[in-house]
Structure formats: structure tokens, C-alpha cells
Structure 1
Amino acid sequence: MHAAASTFHAGELAIQERVGVREQMAGAAAYIRDHMPDQHREFYHSLPFFFLGALDASGQPWATMLAADAGFIVTPDARTLDIRGGLLAGDPLQGQLRAGAHIGGLGLEPSTRRRNRVNGEIVAADEGALRVAVTQSFGNCPQYIQHRQHTPAPTDGREVQVLRGATLSAVDRELIARADTFFIASANMAADAGRGRGVDVSHRGGRPGFVRVDDDHTLTAPEFVGNYFFNTMGNLLNNPRAGLLFIDFENGDLLHIAVEGEIIWDGPQLRAFAGAEKLLRFHVREVVRNVGALPFRWTPPQPAMQNARTGSWAEADSVQAAAALSTSWRSFNVVDVVRESGDVRSFYLEPADGSGVASHVPGQFVSVRVPAWAGEGAASQIRSYTVSDAPDGRRYRISVKRQGVVSSWLHAHLSPGAQIELMGPGGDFTFEEGTQRPVVMLSAGIGITPMIAMLNGLLVNGSRTRHKHPIHFIHGAREVAHPFAVHLQTLAMGHSNLHLHVRLKRIDVQALKELLPFDDYDFYLCGPAGFMQDMYDGLRKLNVADERIRFEAFGPASVRRSAVKAASEVTQVAPVPVRFVRSGIEATWDGTHASLLDLAEANGIEAPSGCRSGLCGSCTVGLSSGEVEYTRACGVEPEAGQVLLCSTAPRAGSGPLALAL
């Protein structure tokens, strides 16, 4: 697809390609019209304010807010937008809006959370009145818009004070630090931008504190899931200059900031900020603050529902600090308990010390240490439980089926106000980011928990999806009212790419063949050991590649893989004889296994294990002779003469190994 023939320009297409949605977004061009629908025209005419993005004489974008009596925007026809005044005193765009200039327009009504976009070129400008020839018109969903109701501001006759500077003042920084909304103007005026050429102004919203003031000339803000048009980010890829607008809704100040923006694609700050897809870092070039310029004041906000799954920079800092604690036992408070079914309860856990939770990737787990209980004569017990929700930066949720001594203890003793020790998170059973294939999530029983966490991470805000390909969710349950049944139905109603199948009988490969259309899938498995082994073996017999089948395994290995690494994939190592003393079995380490635990199981030895990620210590065994090296950082440090089977391999050149197993 050539950029000039597309509604999207090269920068927008490049980002769509990078995040894996370009093919799916090709059809979205139909939503971007070259004319305004009647409902948009009526909406603009009803507004007493309007957001505008435009360039000054130097090519610097500015974002601003026009304000006048309702009706100051008129649409003589579907391709013409007339703006009759509204530019406030001291606005940085004064004298800059001339015929031939491009503008980006945004009609937004906080009291209804409605917004529509219109972009175009000024064809006439006369004494503050602008006539705009519309080039693009499209609607936007109400995501992240805080509900506010405006009222006329009291008039005291004072002139507007205009403050200018090259850096942010203390008052500016305070406004930004508590802001829950800002607007950003950007542009691509390149000759080869085709139909995407022009100026854009966009809304951004989040919880107060979602914009970080790094210093008096640097800001950082998260980019949440949007419409995948990538108008702003695509423009910044082509031209990093942008204009920001922050509004003091209580006092009527307008804070305009000219910046240069950069996209942060990865890193610990991004991973720590709940809900963030990318970060935008802004370097301040110029600041204009119009003190008390707006003729309106607004009521306190009612936060957008989407805010609940997003973070703040204070929380992100706590999350980053907590990452260093993920290999230590920490006390957590039980803040809520929810009954999911007759034998499953969800426990909501927050750090008892008031600090943050380490970030997790949906599908990972935490290890729980249960104290020795009176009368049992038992030592403390450790179990691993999937974090059954996507990260929110504040707490973990584990969903536990009552089916053993430890889980029964949790059901009996954990109520709001109780405390429990956790370590983690950890684990490798996570969704493959950026995959372009349809996905099949296969679960049975309590194996639904990592699948729910993955779904909650992928399907957000009622209708947005981070995976635009089909997701087939196939679950085997004993009863209709299984855990998360209502939640799954709600997700399926809001996301057209989610195909939900719940069966009240055993799922087998024949059932899969009946349910799934022919395609090239990635498979995710979680459930009882027999279920996963049967599904794995059945998929392999259908020639599904081993690397396309991912599964969770706590305790003894629940799936034995049939694939053997190709010679080119195996790191060549000198063979090391390994003797399992108690079992009387001898084997050879040749580098084809991931760990000594895998080697033991491949030779029919029932080795103890739990999390299989070095966190819980369940696989600790004695080392009788030889030396090992660790393959990962572990949360448990064994005593002298002991090793963690799941995270060790023979040390190269160390000689024969003997394990007390």
C-alpha cells in the first residue's frame, strides 16, 4: 500500500506495522470521511468551546481552546466549517490563522463524553472568522474523557495576564502534576503525506498524576490503547514538534507548551505504568500561560471508567521499586474476597507495607507461603497461584480452588484484614506479544485463571483489543455457573474477535476440530495434568508445531514434550554424566534439556517441584558431588550442599554430577 493512496500517511502506517495492526486497519479508512455527517455538524454548532491545533509561522504546532457563545461554529454544508471567533486574548495562535493554513479540530463535550474530529485547510480568514475546507472527518469513542459540567465564569473586568517562558514554572508544574486531561497538536505537512497530510489535535486523559514532570523542561506521559489510527504518534515519527494544552478547570487558565516529542517503545518505566502501551517524552521549547482566560469554570470531575486499569507515576515508581523485592517474601493484606463459584474464591492482595507491587505479565504467578497451622505438626507450606487478572499497579488477585490442604486453609483463614506472605511474580507462561496468528486458549477447571488474566490484558475498555486476530477461548467446566462465566460473556459481547466456547463435558481433539475453522493457530493450555497431556499429544498428531503449543505447569511436569531440539538449536556442550543416587538412574547431560529438573523427568524420575521458576524452592535437592550453575535469578537461596533443580545445569568442565534424588 503506497502512503499517497492511503488515508494514513507513512508515519501512521509505520507504527501500525510495528504494532502488528496495519492489515486490520486498512479497512478503517472507511471511517475517515471527506465530509461531516449531519450529526457532527449539529454537534459542533451546539458547542460553546472547540479545540484547535494549528502551526505558527515557524511551523511549530500549538494546541488551543476556542470559546464563545454556543453557535459560533457553523457548517454551511457538509464540507465547510465556519469558525466565527473564539480565539482568546494572548493565545499563541493569534495572527497565525491565515488562508492556506491547515487546522485540526476537535469537538468535545465533557458532560456527555462525546467527541468528534474534523481536519481541513483554511480557505478564508477575515477578522477572526475562519472558513475551513474539510479534508477529514471522523468520530472518536469516549475513552478517558472525565465528566465535567461547565458554567459561565464570574466576570471581574480584569485583563487576561499572559506569562511567557522557556521552561515550566513551579505553578505550571503543579497544574500538570495534578492534571487528568491534556490535548496535543501535531502535524505532518510533507508533500508525500497524501490524504493524511495536515494537522491533528487529540485528547489524552488518565488518572491525576498520569503526566510526569521530570524537570522544568521535560514531561513524560503514557499512551493508552486507542483507535490504532496513531495520528499523533505517526506525526511525531515524521516531525517531533508538538503543542500541548493543559487546562486549569477551576481557575480558567490555559497552559500552552511547545515541545519536541519522542516515543519510548520499551523500558522499565513503560513496563511499570499500568495500562501504558508506549510513553511519550516531551522536551519543552516554549511556554505560554493565559491566566484566567477562559470564560468557563467546571465542576469536579467524574473519572472515566477506563481510568481504573491505568496507573499514575507515583504508582509506577512504587512498582519499579518493588521489582527489587520480587525474590523476597513480603507480607500482603487481604483487602477483598470474592466467591467465584462453589469451590473457587478470588483473593485481592495489597502490600502490607504500603509500597508497590512488582509488575507482572498476564499468565505469571506468585508463590504463597502458608504458616504451619496448630495441631497439624506441619511446617510452612508453599504453593504457586496464577495472578488471575491483568496488572493494575496496585494489587494482585489470585483465584483458588478448594482442593487440597493448602487451598482449603486459604479458604478457611483468608478474609479481609488477614495477612499472607507472597513472593514473585514469575513464570514463563505468557502471551506472545506481537503475534500475527489467531489464538486458541484451552483450559479446564481452575486452569481458566491464566487465560482470564491474558484476556483481561488483551481485551480492554469494553471494546478495544490489543490482539486484532481471532481469539478462540475454549473451556471445559463441570457446571454452567463456572468461575468468571459472567465476565467471559461480557467480554464476548464487547469484542468481536473473541469466540467463546464453554463445554460441560471433556474437551478433546475431536471437539477442537468441530469448533475451530481451519487456520494456523497458537495454542495455550492450562488445566489438570491429564487434560494438558492429552491435548498436547493430540495437537502434535495434527502436526501442530511444538513451539506453537504453550502450557502452564505447577508441581510435577504436567506435559512431556515430544519434540526434540534440532542439532542447530542445541548449544554444543561437553557431555556430563549425572547420577541420581536414590533412584539409581544414570543419565548424560548434553545440553538438550532446559534444566536438571527436565533431565530428571525425561528419565522417568518423579522429582519434587512447584513453580518451576526458581521462586518457591520446592525442587531443592542435595548435591552429592560435582558443580552446577544457575540459569536464572532465583527467589530462594538453598542451603550449602543443596541446589534448585528447575534452575540449574551442570557447570561446564566440572566433571560428573551426583544428586540425592
Structure 2
Amino acid sequence: MTSLTLLLLITLAIVLQLTIYLSYNFWQHWRIFQVLRRQANESDLPIAYDAGLVSEQKKSLAWNGLRTFRVSSKTTEDELGLICSFFLVPEDGLALPPFYPGQFLTFQIDLLASAGDANGVSERIIRCYSLSDAPAADGYRISVKRALPPAHCQVPEGRGASYFHDQVEVGRRLQVRAPAGHFYIDRSMAPVVLIAGGIGITPMMSMLNCTLPQQPGREVWLFYGVRQQNELVMRAHLEHLAADYPQFHLRFCFSDTEAIADAADLGCQYRGRIDVTLLRRQLPLKPFHYYICGPTPMLESLVPALKEWGVPQNRIHFESFGPASIPRNNTAALAAEQSDTGIVVSFALADKQVPWQAGSATLLDFAEENGIAVNSGCRTGSCGSCQTTILAGEVAYLQSPDYDPEVGTCLLCVCRPKTSVSLEL
């Protein structure tokens, strides 16, 4: 046997071993892929709980317009005293509709125009606050954070939050619209990851308090990010849930890297902001649904990163504070299609005509950009606060709103002009 023949045999042996090794690994990964795909399909099937029945109950018990509620209790939820929970009961004593965990209530608030105004003239504002507990037959709970301005900044405190903290006590009557919102946890057995930043924990509390007792076998992870430990909301309750439900995995994340004083006592604390690197280290390989609620910068970072990681878009659900700034596919597509040459938006009451700009996301954004004051709340088509009469022209909706606008009106927060349009503003 020549040396060339020996070399050829060795090369063939190496190639054969590599082929066997790669084929075996491909087969293993293919099996894992098939298992994950089957889990994804099976876990998305509804359980015995009838979501359709809840929907029917919501329709039969929901109210139109405003309903009077009375505050039956007020509780501080954090060490700093910046977050208060308010338990609300209906003044009429009638049954309440159930809601989907993650939804919110819309409040109509009358504020004095100025301190000590003798005429009692008031300003009306609309605010939305997430429900922060599981559905109950006798009342609703919301949790509100006092919106303090940054240090050395002359910006005033948030008016809605200050009203609740300073003026709303037990016995106060409030005007409330029915629960609404598209951001809520599904009722399948699919594993879920909840990601909360700051006061974004409130809808997650509703999801946890509903899901864990009713679906104890469902795998649930919570990544809860704040700056420091004393900003945590309902920490003791969260830790009790983690102790009571083995399938619930709790992770606190502190962006202030000096914040963890007792990390040795609690193994669920992490330094730094919540990011995909942390999620990759912590989460097993499963077809999770991701629910994210927090400030806009958090969503602007996490949502694209999850997509880059390979999470399908239909498994990423999110809600931000204030105007949504994360573009949805339909919004981006419509903006790309709509060159909008020649479309003019007329604000009749303001006697103002402005050429429509394709870069504006909605008519609500466009109105605000042009100095037109508009009542708004949810900015997602759920509360009806921005309902406005159309005097002429047509609009197109970016998504089907939860709230049904009256004939001849539109919800500015989820529509754009289809033709030149005149609005009663």
C-alpha cells in the first residue's frame, strides 16, 4: 500500500466520520424542531375555559358611556409611596362584566382650572389605568404611579396621577368607562414570558393573579425591571406566588448596579436592564409568548431584539406608556403605500386647513402636531375618548377598534385620512 493510498483511506475515514456526526446532529435537531412545533400547536389550543363565554358575559354586562364607581379602599404598594392601588365598586350595585387580564379602565376626571377658582370652572381630562388584579364579581382594582418630573426639571407632575394620589380617598366617586384594550394574556397553555418595566407591572399582576390559580400547570416567567429595590411593587405578593407555584419563575432586574444589597438572600435578582442576552441565559428552548409592558425606550430595544432572536411576531405582545411608538406592520405598510399628495385635513372649529403628512401615524398625532387639542386616553381605539365628528371626507382604520364609534364619527387614534377630510375640531 502506497503512502498516497493510505492518505486517501484516512481522508475517506475522516469524511465518513464527519458525515455520520453531522447527520446524527441534524437528526437530533430535526426531532427537537418537530417536538417544539407540536408543542407550539398543542399549547395554543384553548383549554376547557370558554373564552367565548367570557366575551358574551362582557357584552351582556358591559355598559355604554360612563358609570359611577366609589373608591372602597386605597393602599400604598411600594416603599417610596409613589404607587397606590384603588379598589372600585359600582355605585349602582349591579353586576360587573368580566375583563381579560391586561385590560384597562378609562376615567373622566374633572380638574379645577386653577387653585381656589371661585367659579368652580373645571378642566376635563381622560386617563387610562391598567386593572391590576384578577377579575372579581364585586369590583375592580387599579394601581396608579405618581408621575414625578426628573430632578432639576420644571415639568409639572402628571395631572391624572396627582389627582388620584392627592384628591381621591375612600368614598370618592369616579366616572369610569367599561374595561377595554387589546393587550391581554391568552387562555391557551402556551408558556409565557412577562416582561415589565416600572409601573408596567400593573397589567402583569392581573395576568399573574388570574393565570396562576386557574392554570397552575402553565409555565410563566416574570422579568420585572426597576432602578432600585424600593421601587418594586407588591414584592411580597410576587415572592409568595413564586413560592406557591413551581411553574412560576420570578426574576427582579435592577438597572442601578449598586441596588442589590441582599442578592445572596434571594437568587432571583440580577443587575442591569432586561435584554435578550439575559433572556437567552435564563429561558429554556420553548415556544414562549412574550408580553411586554413598560416605557417606550424599553420596547424600542426589546421588541426588535426579540424578532432578531427569531421570535415570531405573532408571539410578541406589547403595550407602552402614552403614545405607542413601536410601529406595527399594518401602520408601516400603510405609511409606505400612502404618498398622500393632495390630501388636506381641515379642523373646522379651529378654522385651520393643513396638508396631510404621510409621516404622521394617525389623525390624533397629526392634530397634536398642529396644535389642535384633542381628548384622548388609550390611543389604541379602545376607550372612545378621541371620537370626533367627520364633517366631510373618509378615513381608513389601521386596526379594528374595540370601541364602536357612532355613525358619522371616527376614532382619531387609530385612523388616517383616506381622502381630504374635515373634522369637528
TM-score band, normalised by shorter chain:
0.5 to 0.7
How has the CA–CA distance of structure 1 residues 554 and 626 changed in structure 2, closer, same or farther, with 3 Å as cutoff?
A: farther
**Residue of structure 2 equivalent to 1:409:** 163
* Equivalent of 1:585 in 351, 356, 368: 356
Instruction: Provide the TM-score with structure 1 as the length reference.
Output: 0.45
Q: Give the drift of 1:424.
A: 1.5
**Residue of structure 2 equivalent to 1:468:** 217
* Structure having the larger proportion of residues in helix: 2
**Residue of structure 2 equivalent to 1:610:** 377
Conservation of the 8 A alpha-carbon contact between 1:321 and 1:356: no
**Residue of structure 2 equivalent to 1:420:** 174
Distance in 1 (CA, whole Å) between partners of 2:204 and 2:369 is 30
Q: Give the drift of 1:598.
A: 4.7
Conservation of the 8 A alpha-carbon contact between 1:577 and 1:586: no
Q: Deviations 1:376-414 (Å, cap 9, x if unpaired)?
A: 565111100111111112100000001111111111122
Larger Rg: 1
Counterpart of 2:240 in structure 1: which amino acid? Answer: T
Distance in 2 (CA, whole Å) between partners of 1:659 and 1:519 is 49
Q: Give the drift of 1:452.
A: 0.9
Instruction: Provide the TM-score with structure 2 as the length reference.
Output: 0.67
Local SS of the residue matching 1:473: strand
Counterpart of 1:459 in structure 2: which amino acid? Answer: L
Conservation of the 8 A alpha-carbon contact between 2:362 and 2:416: no
Counterpart of 2:282 in structure 1: which amino acid? Answer: L
**Residue of structure 2 equivalent to 1:105:** none
Q: Give the drift of 1:372.
A: 2.4
Residues 88-127 of structure 1 mapped to structure 2, 5 A cutoff: none
Residues 442-453 of structure 1 mapped to structure 2, 5 A cutoff: 442-453=195-206
Counterpart of 2:123 in structure 1: which amino acid? Answer: A
**Residue of structure 2 equivalent to 1:369:** 108
448-457 or 629-638: which moved more?
A: 629-638
Conservation of the 8 A alpha-carbon contact between 1:521 and 1:548: yes
> 5+ unaligned residues in a row in structure 1: which ranges?
1-16, 24-227, 229-262, 273-318, 589-595
* Equivalent of 1:355 in 86, 94, 97: 94
Local SS of the residue matching 2:183: coil
**Residue of structure 2 equivalent to 1:398:** 142
**Residue of structure 1 equivalent to 2:315:** 548
Conservation of the 8 A alpha-carbon contact between 1:577 and 1:657: no
Distance in 1 (CA, whole Å) between partners of 2:290 and 2:217 is 16
**Residue of structure 1 equivalent to 2:69:** 332
Distance in 2 (CA, whole Å) between partners of 1:270 and 1:632 is 16
Does 2:280 correspond to 1:513?
yes
How has the CA–CA distance of structure 1 residues 583 and 494 changed in structure 2, closer, same or farther, with 3 Å as cutoff?
A: farther
Conservation of the 8 A alpha-carbon contact between 1:383 and 1:406: yes
Local SS of the residue matching 2:134: coil
* Equivalent of 1:484 in 219, 223, 234: 234
**Residue of structure 1 equivalent to 2:261:** none
Counterpart of 2:207 in structure 1: which amino acid? Answer: M
Distance in 1 (CA, whole Å) between partners of 2:386 and 2:99 is 23
Q: Give the drift of 1:516.
A: 2.5
Distance in 1 (CA, whole Å) between partners of 2:239 and 2:386 is 39
Q: Deviations 1:131-168 (Å, cap 9, x if unpaired)?
A: xxxxxxxxxxxxxxxxxxxxxxxxxxxxxxxxxxxxxx
Distance in 1 (CA, whole Å) between partners of 2:364 and 2:55 is 39
Distance in 2 (CA, whole Å) between partners of 1:331 and 1:452 is 25
Counterpart of 2:130 in structure 1: which amino acid? Answer: T
Conservation of the 8 A alpha-carbon contact between 2:387 and 2:405: no
Q: Deviations 1:172-217 (Å, cap 9, x if unpaired)?
A: xxxxxxxxxxxxxxxxxxxxxxxxxxxxxxxxxxxxxxxxxxxxxx
Distance in 2 (CA, whole Å) between partners of 1:587 and 1:500 is 43
Conservation of the 8 A alpha-carbon contact between 1:443 and 1:527: yes
* Structure having the larger proportion of residues in strand: 1
Distance in 2 (CA, whole Å) between partners of 1:616 and 1:270 is 17
Does 2:384 correspond to 1:384?
no
How has the CA–CA distance of structure 1 residues 264 and 370 changed in structure 2, closer, same or farther, with 3 Å as cutoff?
A: closer
How has the CA–CA distance of structure 1 residues 458 and 561 changed in structure 2, closer, same or farther, with 3 Å as cutoff?
A: same
Q: Deviations 1:53-108 (Å, cap 9, x if unpaired)?
A: xxxxxxxxxxxxxxxxxxxxxxxxxxxxxxxxxxxxxxxxxxxxxxxxxxxxxxxx
Distance in 2 (CA, whole Å) between partners of 1:266 and 1:407 is 33
**Residue of structure 2 equivalent to 1:27:** none
**Residue of structure 1 equivalent to 2:11:** none
How has the CA–CA distance of structure 1 residues 576 and 615 changed in structure 2, closer, same or farther, with 3 Å as cutoff?
A: farther
Counterpart of 1:370 in structure 2: which amino acid? Answer: I
Distance in 1 (CA, whole Å) between partners of 2:65 and 2:331 is 35
Conservation of the 8 A alpha-carbon contact between 2:192 and 2:290: yes
* Equivalent of 1:432 in 174, 186, 194: 186
How has the CA–CA distance of structure 1 residues 270 and 551 changed in structure 2, closer, same or farther, with 3 Å as cutoff?
A: closer
Distance in 2 (CA, whole Å) between partners of 1:576 and 1:322 is 46
Q: Give the drift of 1:480.
A: 2.2
**Residue of structure 2 equivalent to 1:504:** 254
How has the CA–CA distance of structure 1 residues 660 and 415 changed in structure 2, closer, same or farther, with 3 Å as cutoff?
A: closer
Conservation of the 8 A alpha-carbon contact between 2:362 and 2:415: no
How has the CA–CA distance of structure 1 residues 612 and 566 changed in structure 2, closer, same or farther, with 3 Å as cutoff?
A: closer
Q: Give the drift of 1:562.
A: 6.0
Q: RMSD over aligned Cα, in angstroms?
A: 4.0
Distance in 2 (CA, whole Å) between partners of 1:637 and 1:270 is 22
**Residue of structure 2 equivalent to 1:441:** 194
Local SS of the residue matching 2:77: strand
Q: Give the drift of 1:333.
A: 0.7
How has the CA–CA distance of structure 1 residues 422 and 480 changed in structure 2, closer, same or farther, with 3 Å as cutoff?
A: same
Identity of aligned residues (%): 32
Local SS of the residue matching 1:531: helix
Q: Deviations 1:222-251 (Å, cap 9, x if unpaired)?
A: xxxxxx9xxxxxxxxxxxxxxxxxxxxxxx
Q: Give the drift of 1:610.
A: 2.4
How has the CA–CA distance of structure 1 residues 585 and 467 changed in structure 2, closer, same or farther, with 3 Å as cutoff?
A: farther
Conservation of the 8 A alpha-carbon contact between 2:69 and 2:90: yes
Distance in 1 (CA, whole Å) between partners of 2:403 and 2:330 is 27
> 5+ unaligned residues in a row in structure 2: which ranges?
1-38, 116-120, 148-157, 256-272, 347-352
Q: Give the drift of 1:518.
A: 3.5
Distance in 2 (CA, whole Å) between partners of 1:374 and 1:605 is 24
Q: Give the drift of 1:375.
A: 2.3
How has the CA–CA distance of structure 1 residues 264 and 605 changed in structure 2, closer, same or farther, with 3 Å as cutoff?
A: same
Conservation of the 8 A alpha-carbon contact between 1:350 and 1:394: yes
Does 2:393 correspond to 1:626?
yes
Residues 190-269 of structure 1 mapped to structure 2, 5 A cutoff: 265=50, 267-268=52-53
Does 2:277 correspond to 1:527?
no
How has the CA–CA distance of structure 1 residues 467 and 583 changed in structure 2, closer, same or farther, with 3 Å as cutoff?
A: farther
